[in-house]
Chains A and B, each alone.
Chain A
Amino acid sequence: MKEIIKLLRYIKGYWKDTILTWVCVLFESVCEGLVAYFMQFFINEVESLASAPDNLNMIFLYSGLIAGIAILAAVLGIVAGVFAASAAAGFGKNIREALFIHVQDYSFKNIDKFSTSSLVTRTTTDITNVQGAFQMIIRAVVRAPFLMLFALVMCFVTYWQAALVFLGFIPLAGFVLIFIANRTHPIFVKVFNAYDDLNQAVDEDVDGIRVVKSFNREEYQKEKFKGVSYWIYSNFKKAEKRIALNGPFMNIATYGTMIMISIIVSKAIVSTSETAIGVGALSTMLTYSMMILMSLMMVSMVYVMIIIGRNSTERILEALEEVPDIADPENPIETVPNGEVEFKHVNFAYSEGKDVLIDVNKKVKSGSTIGILGPTGSSKTTLVSLIARLFDAGSGEVLVGGHNVKEYKLESLRDSVAVVLQKNTLFTGTIRDNLKWGNENATDEEIMAACDIAQVTPFLKDMPDGLNTMIEQGGANVSGGQKQRLCIARALLKSPKILILDDSTSACDTHTDKLIRDGLDKYHPELTKFIIAQRVLSVKDCDEIWVMNEGKVLETGTNDELMKTSAVYRDLYESQNGGGDFDAAN
């Protein structure tokens, strides 16, 4: 319930539509009740033709009245529908927008916490579900209780003795409906979880079909699948069997009330006492009983929708309420003076107690080139991530241009620090669109200059439409090496003061790798560069090389110095000497 109230906030801007929907639905229900109410007098008049065949006027009067109310009800219903549509769509739009914008403020840490795939589900499927539920219940939530109440009141007005039947039936029916819903829901939850298993089985199979086929495991996979498939089948069947009780139960309730009311009302109609009522009362009472039971069905539907929507609601709210852990300081510095970087006794841990950076204490002069070597897990990436404040240091300080990174406006800092991520992404759109991520207003000349340095130009020539070549989602239609070069060009277009290449040329052959480094030195000597690499060749010519292991910078020096002083470096150098990468000469 608390969750739902929190979500109501997002009706903002569409309260008018929502309230108008409710008002219209309210009056529509009144009209529907009135139609049924007047119907009895109408029928009475028709019936009275048997005894007094001269008052056709009353029949005309009532038919006109009822038709009029019916038209009014139709109009109100239509208007309600129109507003309900925009209220629901607006509600969905607001939540989606709020969540999407909020995710933009997430830090890397926030993203890691949720995982991107879960964030995608929350912003797409979950919101679609909630919007769908809202669309379904916005009218029912007013209509059902009101129609029920109105019908009940009118029953009492028509013939209160018979209406007493409802006082017994409504709570009973409500109780049973809710009981069935509650008994069924847990099975559905189980089934939906099993669907995840099923989807996973299919997904893994499709993804690994080559493995399946090369090991002749088709039959094995079929058997495995049948297990999950059967589980879903039997549980779903169980849940549906329980739900199957709904219809017959409602039948019993409907028919039961119908018969009881028929008896009571029939007796009253024929009685000669003062309480005698018209024949029309019978059909009116029956219509009302249908209305009441329909409303009960609607209430139980709303209840089920809310239960089903609860998961999605919780997941959306969780993401919305996540507090971004990196934000602009007050009175931030807006320009980064130069590319000087300093780590002052920096420690860092992703989870408490497990330091992955230990007392890093290094200073880098503006314009110099630093190479970083070390095995996976030695925290090379983590170290350079602190420069662009993708994470905040646990203890110690990271200084850029002489100021603590926390003092800068995030946007200014990140404009000055270009990071070419190890796991990089290109986006759907043309090559030009992708490169303009670096600078929205870049001219083609600027773009081409960056392409020259990043060695994009040689393969761009072979692209059918040059800069206008479409990149498919995730960069599926360019090779790994081409993707890396495009990512470097994109970063260069930012005109940064510091450039971080995190294993960004691993898929390029050694020759291209060298051309890129030479280009950077020639055209951007002022840039402070950090080059993380697996290949010694990539960092050999750096001003300083840091050898890292287990979160520590173990040894530093130039190639020549390290060859003399560092056994680790020498080993690496010798094992790699003389070999290019045979896969990547493209």
Chain B
Amino acid sequence: MPRTNIRATKGARNMNMISGKARSAAIGRLLSYVFKYYPAQFVVVLICVLLSSFTSVAAAFFTGNILVNEYIMPSLNAGSLEILTPTSGALAGIPFGGAIAIMASILALGTVALYVYNILMSIIGQGVQKRIRDELYDHMQDLPISYFDRRGRGDIMSVYTNDVDALREMLSRALPMMASSVVTMIACLVMMLLTDLVLTAVVIGVSILIFFIIVYFTKMASRFFIAQQIELGKMNGYIEEMVNGQRVVKVFNYEKRNIEGFKKHNDQFFTYSVKANRFANLLMPTVNQVGNIQYVLIALIGSLAVFNHWTGVSLVGSFAYGIATVGTIVSFLMYSKAFVQPIGNVSQQLNLIALALAGATRIFEIIDAPAEKDEGYVELVNAKEDENGNPIECAERTGKWAWKHPHTDGSPTTYTWLRGKITFDDVDFAYIPGKTVLHNISMYAEEGQKIAFVGPTGSGKTTITNLINRFYDIEDGKVRYDDININKIRKKDLRRSLGMVLQDTKLFTGTVMENIRFGNLNATDEEVVEAAKLANAHNFITHLPEGYNTVLASGGASLSQGQRQLIAIARAAVANPPVMILDEATSSIDSRTESLVQEGMDAIMKGRTVFVIAHRLSTIKNSDVIMVLQDGRIIERGNHEQLLAEKGKYYQLYTGNEIAK
């Protein structure tokens, strides 16, 4: 794993157009997490946002109206503020010092409110993010394999890295900012409406102008931002491919052509990046200065009103402009400024919100994807023998297992010993409906038999094994385990009764012990070591620096391929299932380890029903039945000698020669 930066490039994927409807659905759903898990906190946040916004409006009101009108103007020539106190209004009788103290306490309250909601928002933001992340991961475990086939690994990864992260930015930064901006604007609007309707109309007019400027610039910028992101995705894709193939580049003296190819992308990215950022950069200076000009405009109109003794109309009635209303204009100027400022802030958050909602839509897409269905009702239970040798269910672990099969027709529940007999009855299968890849597969494996599949790549060997454990469901026909249709068996129990060793070994970060115990969480340390010995892994494990406690990082990258395989075999061995599905390695591992792996494989095959995708002659020769597959059909079957005698495809594969025609 490369050290990935979570603030990494928001790739082109994030810029997919998401419909408005999906977006509003996403925001509703996001908020429902907040309401559901943090209702009290959310109410407190709302109250605090209100409080804090109102205090900032109050601050403007204070310096404008109160300070100037009630204290400064009356005392203008008195030489001191303390002499005259207002005779009317809310502050009647309160001296200047007292007014300041009141103001200071209101502001202190606002500050506390701000602190409280900042803290609560980080709790809510992180909490919701964690819940969504956990839900996402939990649900992902329950998705069918076909889902993972359809979606690339990188695609799923980017949901965790980019999309969940974008949520955080929105929840803990953009939303509170939006809320406080809206509250501030409403408060200012009310104050303005209470002061003068005409001036308010001017402010609203200018705000609409600013709004359109923002919409225009944002639109232009986002057009190029999308182009930039797409190009960034392409360029990084190119870099990734080429750096990964750097050895081939060197061997072919491809450096110069490589640089040319890269420069094309880099130049294109540069062009879009310049354009996009230009528009983005234009926004703030324009909005700020339009705000300033508006300020002047209001002051000018106000002055004219005072000069000409116009009649002002406010929501609470009309009044005459004159000397006494100068303070009113000053405070109106404050409101208008406080009203316009948040518009810029909000517009900067809009991109963030759009990005987050697009991400949320993708997150919910996964959460809503239908989980793997399991209608099975036949269970695997601990069992012991009754006097007739039939299984009866018991609570304690006996090491023996039976299928518990309740019947819907009211007849008593039956018990069948777990044996490991598998039958395929005329099975058809298609990954994509209509494109059948397995045709009329019929076969049976008695308890303890070894069935080998051979055939060219793409002939369907792996697909057959994926049907036994119900990674995929068949289209037609029946697969039975101990004569029970596997669709009736609970998936959990079906898979418990099957072991798998895949050619492409996947280990997890953790100790060797943990990795082997993955096969059976109840295994004791001794059982793990036993399994490792059986799989021939014990020897090399004891030579690791920390033995069984050696931590395997990055899927065991420090081990050789063969060693990883040995651990995977031990992992299957510790599960000790009656049926094993094995995929033999084709890749060339060193001969010493290879023979260890072979011995390990042979050891765990003993005494079990085994399906093996075989590459080794010795495995094939020892098999009870060999199935030769081609294009999704079994074209030949029989044991080694029979098949050689047939002189068909098997003979051809075996001898490595074309058949003499």
Known: A248-B118, A582-B620. A266 touches B96 (CB 8 A): yes
Check if A125 sits within 8 Å of B9, measured CB to CB.
yes
Interface mask (A328-359 → B, CB under 8 Å = 1, otherwise 0): 00000000000000000000000000000000
Known: A46-B330, A49-B303, A84-B281. A583 touches B518 (CB 8 A): no
Contact residue among B253, B278, B457 (Cβ-Cβ distance under 8 Å from A411): B253
Residues of A within 8 Å of B411, CB to CB, are: none
Known: A282-B68, A428-B241. A494 touches B104 (CB 8 A): no
Check if B245 sits within 8 Å of A425, measured CB to CB.
yes
Check if B63 sits within 8 Å of A283, measured CB to CB.
yes
Name the distance in Å between B341's Cβ and chain A's nearest Cβ: 10
Please list the 4 inter-chain residue pairs (A to B) with the smallest Cβ-Cβ separation, ordered nearest first. A77-B285, A81-B281, A376-B590, A208-B506
Check if B498 sits within 8 Å of A198, measured CB to CB.
no
Check if B469 sits within 8 Å of A28, measured CB to CB.
no
Residues of B within 8 Å of A427, CB to CB, are: 241-242, 245
Contact of A438 with B by CB under 8 A: yes
Provide the bound-state CA to CA distance between A124 and B243, in Å: 11
Residues of B within 8 Å of A225, CB to CB, are: 134, 137
Check if B153 sits within 8 Å of A255, measured CB to CB.
no
Check if A46 sits within 8 Å of B302, measured CB to CB.
yes
Contact of A263 with B by CB under 8 A: yes
Q: Which of A97-105, A171-179, A295-303, A559-567 contacts B (4 or more CB under 8 A)?
A: A97-105
Known: A70-B293, A70-B296, A93-B269. A579 touches B277 (CB 8 A): no
Q: Which of A152-160, A393-401, A507-515, A520-528 contacts B (4 or more CB under 8 A)?
A: A507-515
Not counting A74-B290, A206-B140, A267-B81, a sample of 20 additional A-B residue pairs whose C-beta atoms are within 8 angstroms of each other reads A56-B304, A203-B1, A203-B153, A206-B148, A212-B141, A213-B495, A214-B498, A215-B519, A215-B571, A218-B141, A221-B141, A240-B125, A248-B111, A252-B111, A258-B59, A266-B72, A279-B72, A376-B590, A583-B615, A586-B458
Residues of B within 8 Å of A205, CB to CB, are: 137, 140-141
Residues of A within 8 Å of B485, CB to CB, are: none
Q: How many residues of B contact A (CB 8 A)?
A: 169
Contact of B282 with A by CB under 8 A: yes
Interface mask (A178-221 → B, CB under 8 Å = 1, otherwise 0): 00000000000000100110111111111111111111111111
Q: Which of A115-123, A362-370, A446-454, A461-469 contacts B (4 or more CB under 8 A)?
A: A115-123
Give 5 pairs: A residue, B residue, CB < 8 Å, sorted on A.
A49-B323, A66-B292, A82-B281, A199-B1, A410-B253
Contact residue among A67, A97, A437 (Cβ-Cβ distance under 8 Å from B296): A67
Check if B307 sits within 8 Å of A93, measured CB to CB.
no
Contact of B250 with A by CB under 8 A: yes
Provide the bound-state CA to CA distance between A582 and B612, in Å: 13
Interface mask (A93-136 → B, CB under 8 Å = 1, otherwise 0): 10011001101111110010000111111011110110100010
Provide the bound-state CA to CA distance between A534 and B299, in Å: 89
Check if A78 sits within 8 Å of B138, measured CB to CB.
no
Check if B300 sits within 8 Å of A63, measured CB to CB.
yes
Nearest neighbor of B289 in chain A, beta-carbon distance: A74
Check if B259 sits within 8 Å of A104, measured CB to CB.
yes
Contact of A320 with B by CB under 8 A: no
Interface mask (B483-501 → A, CB under 8 Å = 1, otherwise 0): 0000000001001101110
Contact of B133 with A by CB under 8 A: yes
Check if B266 sits within 8 Å of A248, measured CB to CB.
no
Interface mask (B463-481 → A, CB under 8 Å = 1, otherwise 0): 0000001010000000000
Contact of A236 with B by CB under 8 A: yes
Interface mask (B266-299 → A, CB under 8 Å = 1, otherwise 0): 1101100111111011101110111011011101
Check if B236 sits within 8 Å of A78, measured CB to CB.
no
Check if A503 sits within 8 Å of B588, measured CB to CB.
yes
Nearest neighbor of A118 in chain B, beta-carbon distance: B2
Contact of A142 with B by CB under 8 A: no
Provide the bound-state CA to CA distance between A405 and B458, in Å: 44
Contact residue among B141, B263, B575 (Cβ-Cβ distance under 8 Å from A215): B575
Check if A123 sits within 8 Å of B239, measured CB to CB.
yes
Check if A85 sits within 8 Å of B138, measured CB to CB.
no
Q: Which of B185-193, B312-320, B431-439, B649-657 contacts A (4 or more CB under 8 A)?
A: B649-657
Residues of A within 8 Å of B590, CB to CB, are: 375-377
Provide the bound-state CA to CA distance between A244 and B398, in Å: 58
Contact of A580 with B by CB under 8 A: yes
Contact of A424 with B by CB under 8 A: yes
Give the contact-size bracket for chain A: 35 or more
Q: Which of A4-12, A161-169, A473-481, A539-547 contacts B (4 or more CB under 8 A)?
A: A473-481
Known: A125-B8, A247-B118, A427-B245. A202 touches B160 (CB 8 A): yes
Check if B656 sits within 8 Å of A244, measured CB to CB.
no
Contact residue among A90, A116, A220, A247 (Cβ-Cβ distance under 8 Å from B521): A220
Check if B79 sits within 8 Å of A47, measured CB to CB.
no
Contact of A485 with B by CB under 8 A: no
Contact of B145 with A by CB under 8 A: yes
Provide the bound-state CA to CA distance between A480 and B504, in Å: 14
Provide the bound-state CA to CA distance between A533 and B495, in Å: 39
Provide the bound-state CA to CA distance between A213 and B123, in Å: 34
Check if B654 sits within 8 Å of A71, measured CB to CB.
no
Contact residue among A121, A201, A243 (Cβ-Cβ distance under 8 Å from B4): A121
Interface mask (A309-337 → B, CB under 8 Å = 1, otherwise 0): 00110000000000000000000000000
Residues of A within 8 Å of B326, CB to CB, are: 46-47, 49-50
Contact of B257 with A by CB under 8 A: yes
Question: Could you say which of A49, A118, A243, A494 has the most chain B C-beta atoms within 10 Å of its C-beta?
Answer: A49
Within 8 A of A (CB), among B351-369: none
Residues of A within 8 Å of B241, CB to CB, are: 427-428, 473-474
Contact residue among B3, B64, B239, B614 (Cβ-Cβ distance under 8 Å from A582): B614
Provide the bound-state CA to CA distance between A18 and B234, in Å: 28
Known: A49-B303, A266-B81, A578-B655. A251 touches B114 (CB 8 A): yes
Known: A128-B8, A414-B250. A77 touches B506 (CB 8 A): no
Contact of A35 with B by CB under 8 A: yes
Check if B239 sits within 8 Å of A124, measured CB to CB.
yes
Check if A251 sits within 8 Å of B110, measured CB to CB.
yes
Nearest neighbor of A105 in chain B, beta-carbon distance: B255
Name the distance in Å between A394's Cβ and chain B's nearest Cβ: 20
Residues of A within 8 Å of B508, CB to CB, are: 204, 208
Check if B282 sits within 8 Å of A103, measured CB to CB.
no
Nearest neighbor of A414 in chain B, beta-carbon distance: B253
Nearest neighbor of B123 in chain A, beta-carbon distance: A237
Within 8 A of B (CB), among A210-267: 210-222, 225-226, 229-230, 232-233, 236-237, 240-241, 243-245, 247-248, 251-252, 255, 258-259, 262-263, 266-267
Name the distance in Å between A226's Cβ and chain B's nearest Cβ: 6
Check if B657 sits within 8 Å of A511, measured CB to CB.
yes
Contact of B658 with A by CB under 8 A: yes
Contact of B502 with A by CB under 8 A: yes
